[in-house]
Amino acid sequence: MPEQDSTAQKVAIVCANMIDIRRCLSSGPTGDAVLDDLVATARSGGDVTAAVNTLHEVLQAVTSDVKGLHAYGDNGRTDRGPHGGPVSAPGLRPGEPVFLCPANRCTRHWWPQGPVPVPRCAISGQVLRQDWL
């Protein structure tokens, strides 16, 4: 299960930072083809483990930064309970909405921030799905 958790976290980082990652890759020797491969694999419902690990390695090489995808921070991380749902965080009350990956493929989350539109998944294009704490 740890490999799946790591993969889900990496996919969440990609989803939350797709534009910046694409910009970074465009300056490299392979362009953004590796990102397109990951997106195509995810959209087809395939196992993205190899594709996301390749993207991570390419980013490490292009940027000379060992952090790779993790250089983009925790933007896609959230803690999940045993059934895949979010775990309450300090200061949040049960019944509060949280928006999650529509395909349940990654750990991306988004907290409602006033009258702004709910973000879309950068991979599927679907609006993040609403869940409740």
Predicted confidence (pLDDT) per residue in 63-101, tens digit: 888 889 988 865 444 333 333 334 444 455 567 889 999
Per the structure, the complete domain to which residue 37 belongs is given by: 2-72
Q: What is the pTM of this model?
A: 0.69
> Is 6 a member of any domain?
yes
Cβ 64 vs Cβ 27: under 8 Å: no
Kindly state whether residue 99 falls inside one of the protein's structural domains.
no
Query: What is the rounded distance in angstroms from the CA atom of residue 76 to the CA atom of residue 56?
Result: 15
* 116 contacts: CB under 8 Å, gap ≥ 6: none
Range with top average pLDDT, 1-10, 34-43, 75-84:
34-43
Query: Does 84 reside within a domain?
Result: no
Domain count, the chain: 1
